[in-house]
């Protein structure tokens, strides 16, 4: 009798140990446990640590509270300005209410993924290509607002949404490249024209200074010769325009004591008092004065 009692106690101990092992659960720090007893929510959410459930009666669902990174598959869409693009994104979300995440939605991960794809297609159709390429922050905020409203009912909050990549057709890439090149060329021409305008103003000011100081033009000419000679050329050809020579001639002041001899004219002696000037006809019917040298007759020239 005693042996049977011992066997019964041993069996009961083994059954209790199996029961404890089957009902023991460990909830991690970043998880929460939702217990359903016969399909009905049981008590409060189980916190992190060791907990027990009734085997075969209770069923525990562990919900991860960490931020989940969910990539959104690339979506083909048409923008508002009728450009075909392919866009993919990434979503960062987390569960804030484990009960709603288990009770209200069958699979909250799958639901968030499908909602992200739908919202991405919707916002593509409402945006232009320039907004999609240059104003992604605004589109990210729009996506976050579109997804956050239904996700709150599932116990999920959207932490951040980022558009990761935008793929364009090759023809559109070439068109954008040509547009960028044309814009760069336009800006280069404007800058060049502005530089020419500023240079012309400075040259006009320099010309005004040189007109007041003629020696400045000669100094500038010598500077040009020095700059060209720095190239170590054996031959230096420097053209002088006639206008430059005339300008220098007009700018050179006449020296004192110069007369028309310097201009290549022979001096003439002053006429005596009472005599007519040289080269003028005589008065009172007198014959005009003959030159000192009279040509010899033809016969004398032949004899000679």
Q: Are 36 and 42 in contact (CB under 8 A)?
A: yes
pLDDT digits (tens, 9 = 90+) for 54-102: 888 888 889 999 999 999 888 888 888 888 888 989 999 999 999 988 8
Q: Are 94 and 159 in contact (CB under 8 A)?
A: yes
Dihedral sign from CA coordinates of 25, 45, 111, 118: negative
> One digit per residue, pLDDT tens: the chain, 304 residues?
677 777 887 878 877 788 777 888 888 988 999 998 888 888 788 888 888 888 888 888 899 999 999 998 888 888 888 888 889 899 999 999 999 888 888 888 999 999 999 888 888 888 888 888 888 888 888 888 888 888 888 889 998 888 888 888 888 888 888 988 999 999 999 999 999 999 999 888 888 887 787 777 777 777 877 777 777 766 766 666 677 777 777 777 766 554 444 444 444 444 444 444 444 444 444 444 444 444 444 434 443 3
Q: Are 119 and 163 in contact (CB under 8 A)?
A: no
Is the pTM higher than 0.75? The answer reads no
- The DSSP bridge partners found for residue 59 are 36
pLDDT digits (tens, 9 = 90+) for 187-204: 999 999 999 999 999 888
For residue 234, the Cα-to-chain-centroid distance in whole angstroms is 47
Residue with tokens 């005004």: 208
Q: How far apart are CA 63 and CA 96, in angstroms?
A: 10
> How far from 198 is each of 184, 191, 205, 210, CA to CA, in Å?
21, 11, 11, 18
Report helix, strand or coil for 12: helix
Q: How far apart are CA 52 and CA 58, in angstroms?
A: 10
């Amino acid at each position: 009798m005693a042996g049977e009692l011992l066997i019964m106690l041993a069996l009961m101990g083994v059954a209790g140990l199996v029961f404890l092992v089957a009902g023991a659960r460990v909830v991690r720090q970043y998880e929460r446990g939702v217990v359903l007893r016969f399909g009905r929510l049981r008590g409060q959410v189980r916190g992190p640590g060791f907990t027990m459930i009734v085997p075969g009666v209770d069923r525990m669902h562990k919900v991860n509270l960490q931020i989940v990174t969910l990539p959104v598959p690339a979506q083909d869409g048409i923008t508002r300005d009728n450009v075909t693009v392919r866009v993919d994104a990434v979503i960062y979300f987390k569960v804030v209410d484990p009960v709603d995440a288990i009770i209200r939605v069958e699979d909250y991960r799958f639901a968030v993924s499908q909602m992200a794809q739908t919202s991405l297609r919707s916002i593509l159709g409402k945006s232009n290509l320039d907004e999609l390429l240059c104003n992604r922050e605004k589109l990210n905020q729009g996506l976050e607002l579109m997804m956050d409203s239904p996700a709150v009912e599932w116990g999920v909050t959207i932490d951040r949404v980022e558009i990761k990549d935008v793929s364009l057709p090759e023809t559109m890439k070439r068109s954008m490249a040509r547009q960028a090149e044309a814009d760069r060329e336009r800006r280069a021409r404007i800058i060049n024209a502005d530089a020419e305008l500023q240079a012309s103003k400075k040259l006009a000011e320099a010309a005004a200074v040189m007109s007041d100081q003629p020696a400045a033009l000669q100094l500038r000419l010598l500077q040009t010769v020095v700059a060209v000679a720095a190239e170590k050329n054996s031959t230096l050809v420097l053209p002088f325009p006639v206008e430059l020579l005339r300008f220098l001639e007009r700018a050179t002041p006449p020296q004192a004591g110069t007369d028309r001899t310097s201009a290549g004219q022979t001096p003439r002696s002053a006429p005596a008092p009472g005599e007519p000037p040289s080269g003028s006809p005589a008065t009172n019917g007198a014959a005009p004065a003959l030159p000192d040298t009279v040509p010899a007759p033809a016969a004398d020239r032949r004899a000679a």
